[in-house]
Structure 1
Amino acid sequence: MKKLQYKGESLNISDNKIGRCITNLSSEGFLIYEGQQLIDLENYTCVICRRGNFEALREQVTEMAIFISGDDNIDLQDGDIVSISRNGHLRILYSPNSSDNVLFITETCNHKCIMCSQPPKKVKDLDVQFKINSQLVDLIPDDCEILGVTGGEPTLLGDRLFQLYEQISTKLPNTIIHTLTNGRAFNSTKFCDKFTKCMNRNLIFGIPLYSDYSAQHDYIVQSKNAFNQTIKGIYNLAALHQKIEIRIVISKLNHSRLIELAHFIYKNLPFVDHVAFMGLEDIGNATVNSELVWIDPKEYIEDLNSALEYLFNFGINTSIYNIPLCLLPSNLWKHSAKSISDWKTKYLDCCDNCKLAENCCGVFGTSKKISSNITPFLN
């Protein structure tokens, strides 16, 4: 798993600094200093180094912004975009070698999902994150294929979310923008009217739907009337010809109604572009509520098989996320995707010699519980 944050010491940094990492001494940006012979520091807005390399720079950087890592194994690459805070935190915001780059909008949310892997916080971070994301978009290279927009709940940013869409569309006209949202904001006609001003062909909305039964969905997301608002939001987005992905996190609470949910989607939402059935990440609220939500995927495979095959046979594009191939029957392998974020992906020791490992999503390295039924294919 790639480490995304580092703790160290910031010198001459009074506010968050955001920049692109470089190793080429003739380029501009945040220099990753590995003991190279420096001739001139004027090109660099910041220098990043290990503690062991700082002494060679001490006399040259008396007034220059510098980050001294407390980790000797700091893993930064040319093109990584990072933020550095005045209190000594470095965070990787974008990596050109990753397919999981996102704009993180906020830690707040109007859901409190019972199995949420990243429980929302009561913080006032919308202004700070908007400023960071605006700067980040300007630095992202033009060849970025896909950029996620996530949180928390991104639509809590209000009109400024649409400003970001417009900025991305202008700076990165060919980049797909995949927004993870509960969709409830789009039940508002006023919100949709404002959205129409920044729509483009590259937008995709990933919206969770956990049950065909409104009370069960509302219980899982811990928010009254969420189901009705989400469904209306989906209909409004469809009326605006937007691409929609339905995301179903499978838990002990909803696995027995997967086939009913599949029927509901086909009968009421046949226009959606994609349906993703997702394995649970046992962290955050999922760990706190483990007795309520955790279930080994082996226990719900028949439910998953029935629901997925039903949708697939009616022509709806379907995928399976976050479930290793060895837990799935072979007829479902074609639906499986390498879906876990690269910085979270882990393969168990027993997977080293598995002949299917290259095509398998692995497991969440962050998860407290992992299926006890993972078995490598050795022949």
Structure 2
Amino acid sequence: MLLKTKGIARGITTPIVGRVSFTGAENAEVLICDTPPPTLIHSYKAVLSTYDGPSEIPGVFSIPDFSHLSEGDIVVIHSDGVVSTQYRVNSVHNFLLFTERCNSNCIMCSQPPRDRDDTDYFYNLYRQTIPLIPKDCIELGITGGEPTLLGDRFFKLLACIKASLPDTEVHCLTNGRSFAWPGLANKLGKMDFNRLMLGIPLYSDYAPQHDYIVQAKDAFYQTVKGLYHLARNNVRVELRIVLHQQTIPRLRQLSRFIYKNLPFAAHVTFMGLEHQGYTPHNIQRLWIDPLDYGEELTDAVTYLGDMGMNVSIYNSQLCVLPRELWQYARKSISDWKNVYHEECVKCSVKNECGGFFASGVQRHSRGLSAV
């Protein structure tokens, strides 16, 4: 699914954030038109158009088409003519990328970190975006990089979300290491943001193994300490385990560790690999056919489920999971990167199945077969 387009920018020196309108809605900031824009449009920040020609109005022109945009979508318009979609009104898979920096470097990271300070850019972008998001937004994701690296601005943006979207469930992906320092966990707790959940990875019960996977010394101890500090402050946490060669051998032990030491986790999810970012480069030490870890996954998932914990399986296809795990499988892949294999066309449970990441449909289990 297209999330950005490009044309010829005129009169744009700094990024412009706004809601788009095809009809000239008064509450929009950006007008979309296929003809030369009218000269006097005082209520709009910019124009987007397929029209190719000069204009007195700031905007991006000669854009191929706008089929990926809907009335009310939020975009950011850049001086190079790139128009990125920030929020889609007809989707429940919206997220805000707080930063591309990270203090970990996971061997299967789908969004490899960049070593540059992008704090000002993203902070200024989202403090404009968040107030424009519809109040009936059901769920909003926060991702990175590592969002907590924004420091105080991380909390300012959270406060903005809480104030602007009081009924929205917010899910923030973080490695949790920053919360090993109790001051940050205490600060988050004092926000009393009860619609916020932090999704934190824990890849092993054995510290050296977790640290190897995330490529960061002492990451295991920092993560676990951070989890305790967050729990003490009544911040909801979700534990995330990505399934690959490095995590499967201790999956049973990890499930016992979680129940014994982290029973306060609101959700535990076991996740299939996304073939993006670092994964293709490390595929030989990551890929394992789901058919070959069905026993370990079944033991870990059913153990936690039997112990009363909330458990899910993400990014997996029903046909390669043992039947007893189907009740835990969720359709978790974001709509803009979710596809199905040609074999899935004739499958009777396609509508209940999570399908594939668009980036990884070519590498799939040998057990892929229509039900």
Residues of 2 paired with 1:281 and 1:105: CA distance?
Answer: 20
1:351 and 2:344 correspond: yes
Residues 249-295 of structure 1: CA deviation (Å, up to 9, x unaligned): 01111112111100000110111111000000112111111111111
Contact 1:26 1:43 in 2 (8 A): no
Aligned to 1:3: 2
Pairwise CA distance, 1:146: 1.2
Residue number in structure 2 paired with 1:47: 47
Cross-structure match for 1:143: 136
Indicate whether 1:22 and 2:15 are aligned: no
Tell me the C-alpha RMSD between the 2 structures: 1.7
Which piece of structure 1 moves more, 208-217 or 96-105? 96-105
Residue 91 of structure 2 aligns to a residue whose secondary structure is coil
1:269 match = 262
SS at match of 2:46: strand
* 1:158-197 alignment runs, 5 A limit: 158-197=151-190
**Compared CA separation, residues 373 and 65, structure 1 to 2 (3 A):** farther
- Which runs of 5 or more structure 2 residues have no equivalent in the other structure? none
Partners of 2:37 and 2:106 lie apart in 1 by 52
In the TM superposition, what whole-angstrom CA distance separates every residue of 1:132-185 from its partner, at most 9, and x where no partner exists? 011110111111111111100001011111111111111111111111001111
Question: Hey, what does 1:322 align to over in structure 2?
Answer: 315
1:298 corresponds to which residue? Answer: 291
Q: Is this contact kept in 1: 2:182–2:226, CA < 8 A? A: no
Alignment correspondent of 1:375: 369
Please give the alpha-carbon distance, in whole angstroms, between the structure 2 residues aligned to 1:73 and 1:79: 13
Instruction: Count residues in correspondence.
Output: 369
Q: Is contact 1:159–1:194 with CA below 8 Å preserved after alignment?
A: no
Give the TM-score of the pair, scaled to structure 2. Answer: 0.95
Q: 1:31 matched to which residue of 2?
A: 31
Give the structure 1 partner of residue 240 of structure 2.
247
CA deviation after TM superposition for structure 1 residue 319, in Å = 0.3
* Separation of aligned partners in 1, 2:147 and 2:205: 24
**1:309 paired residue number:** 302
Identity %: 43
Which secondary structure does the structure 1 equivalent of 2:141 belong to? strand
Alignment of 1:173-252 (within 5 A): 173-252=166-245
Q: Residues of 2 paired with 1:266 and 1:197: CA distance?
A: 27
Match of 1:211, SS state, is coil
Give yes or no for contact 2:189–2:230 (8 Å, CA) kept in 1.
no
In the superposition, relative to structure 1, how do residues 13 and 224 fare at CA in structure 2: closer, same or farther (>3 Å)?
A: same
1:126 equivalent in structure 2: 119
Q: Is the 8 A contact 1:282 1:294 kept in 2?
A: no
- Displacement of 1:12 in angstroms is 1.1
- SS state at 1:366 partner: helix
C-alpha deviations, 1:192-248, integer Å up to 9, x for none?
233233231111010000001111000000000000000010011111111111000
Deviations 1:62-89 (A, max 9, x none): 2211212543464211111010100111
Q: How far apart are residue 7 of structure 1 and its match? A: 2.3
Aligned with 2:20: secondary structure?
A: strand
One-letter amino acid matched to 1:244: V
Deviations 1:23-79 (Å, cap 9, x if unpaired)?
2224332122245996963333222122xxx14xx46xx221121254346421111
Which amino acid is 2:2 matched to? K
Q: Counterpart of 1:340?
A: 333
Flag structure 1 segments of 5+ consecutive residues without an equivalent.
none
